[in-house]
Amino acid sequence: MSIIKTRIQARRAALRAAAMAAAASVVLGAGFANSAEVKIGGLWGLTGPVAQFIPPMKAAADLAIKQVNAQGGIGKGDKLSLIMADTKCDGKTSSAAANKLVNINNVVAINGALCSGATIGAANTVAIPTGVVMISPASTSPAITSLKDKDFVFRVTPADDFQGKILARVIKKRGIGKIAITYIQNDYGKGLAESLKMNFEKIGGVVAGYAAHEAKKASYRSELATLKKGGAKHLVVIAYAADSGPVLIRQSLERGYFAKFIGVDGINNDKMFAKIGWKNVQGMFITNSGSIPGTDGEKAYIAALKAASPSAVGKPFVANSYDATFMIALAVEQAGSRDRTKIRDALRKIAGPGGTVVLPGEWAKAKKLIAAGTKINYQGAAGPHDFDAAGDVPGVIDVFEIKGNKRVLIEKIAK
């Protein structure tokens, strides 16, 4: 019995030692000393209706990570990395992908999601309950503003209530008094369509046709025929470039339903226009979230991106993707920890009025200032990103027009 008792006591002692070692590891892991890698999640639609937007956005995120790692890394030299996960632009898929990023990959924060429904799904099921910061570079639904998110959900692109207001003004300014609107049946489409309709009617415009459409249909001819009955010559297409967008435009042209189109960020894609035929959409104009022009932040970012990935410059949401990545890194550095709540709190400290300005790429400068206890103010590629109480930012809407075989930026409108 004494031998058995001795063995039991020895086993218990070993278990206590292992538990103490694990606890110590957790405590050390909260800082930077116990790991050589700081992981950020990239919760993006790698496949599905927004997949064509991903390569330039990833190039911008990779640039931010490269700059951080080349200028001292996180803390005492830990390397920053990006782990990608596919949402397929779907709420349920996004939730599963976010769960893997948070609970298996142990990311400290998430850049994403892109589609509004994917952001809302992942936020409600994973990010908010587990306390992980999400910064979306592209989700624009007004519904995100009202999430009860415990201050864990942010975005660095303006909401669609702003884009809808600006688009209404742009349409009216061009002498167009009557439009038809078709919008994809999801959080993004509904929010933007409602904003456009309300603001266009408020300034005297007529919405002669207004209807949602389902994704992934082979034919929208019946929907288009109904929209045409209102007598509008211009069709506003609120859709995705790799889904209903090209089908709606092509079938409108084939059947003579509409010959003039107005677009938004979801279809602002060169590959889509090339597929339809540039000659078929001449004069079409499109609105998209943009960057504040001429700032030192924009200049620094563009110079670096031109050197690293010139084809990504000027593409939709690319500057926003860079900023989301760089800001997460700054927040981790400011927090001095991988503790996710501390990272959330630090995010509001690294951007906003006051403090020493830090521009894109100025990682070494930011590290030095943070180490000295000096407040910093990140002035990003897309703008200053002064978060309001809901985690939203003011912004800029770019207006493009199709001229020849390209989209030409013709105007920037700030909030």
Q: What percent of the chain has pLDDT over 90?
A: 88
Dist. CA 117–CA 138, nearest whole Å: 11
Dist. CA 135–CA 339, nearest whole Å: 17
312 has a pLDDT exceeding 60: yes
Q: What is the pLDDT of residue 32?
A: 57
Retrieve residue 208's tokens. 């002669």
Dist. CA 380–CA 296, nearest whole Å: 9
pLDDT per position as a tens digit, 83-105: 999 999 999 999 999 999 999 99
Please, what is the angle between helix 160-173 and helix 187-202, to 10°?
A: 40
pLDDT per position as a tens digit, 225-244: 999 999 999 999 999 999 99
Where residue 293 falls among pLDDT bands split at 50, 70, 90?
confident
Dist. CA 190–CA 211, nearest whole Å: 10
Which stretch of DSSP H or E encloses residue 242?
A: none
392 has a pLDDT exceeding 50: yes
What ranges do the domains of the chain cover? 37-157+294-396, 161-283
Where residue 46 falls among pLDDT bands split at 50, 70, 90?
very high
Find, among 414, 296, 303, 343, the residue nearest to 102 by Cα: 343
Exposed e or buried b per residue across 332-356, where buried means at least 16 C-beta atoms within 10 angstroms of its C-beta: bbbbbbbbbebbbebbebbbbeeee
Q: What is the pLDDT of residue 395?
A: 84
8 has a pLDDT exceeding 50: no
Find where tokens 């979801």 sit. 266
Residue 388 is given by DSSP the state -
Please, what is the angle between helix 54-70 and helix 363-371, to 10°?
A: 50
Phi, psi of 365 (to 5 degrees): -60, -45
Phi, psi of 207 (to 5 degrees): -100, 100
7 has a pLDDT exceeding 60: no
Q: For the CA atoms of 362, 367, 369, 375, what is the dihedral angle to 10 degrees?
A: 90
Dist. CA 61–CA 77, nearest whole Å: 19
Exposed e or buried b per residue across 122-135, where buried means at least 16 C-beta atoms within 10 angstroms of its C-beta: bbbbbbbeebbbbb
CB half-sphere exposure, 19, CA atoms < 13 A: 6
Domains 37-157+294-396 and 161-283 belong to one CATH topology: yes
The CATH code that applies to domain 161-283 is 3.40.50.2300
Residue 230 exposed, middle or buried by CB count within 10 Å (0-12, 13-18, 19+): middle
Dist. CA 293–CA 217, nearest whole Å: 39
- Considering only the C-alpha atoms of the chain, give the largest distance between any 2 of them, rounded to a whole number of Å: 97
Superfamily of chain region 37-157+294-396: Response regulator (3.40.50.2300)
3-state SS, residue 231: coil
pLDDT per position as a tens digit, 34-44: 458 999 999 99
Higher pLDDT, 257 or 1: 257
Dist. CA 3–CA 120, nearest whole Å: 59
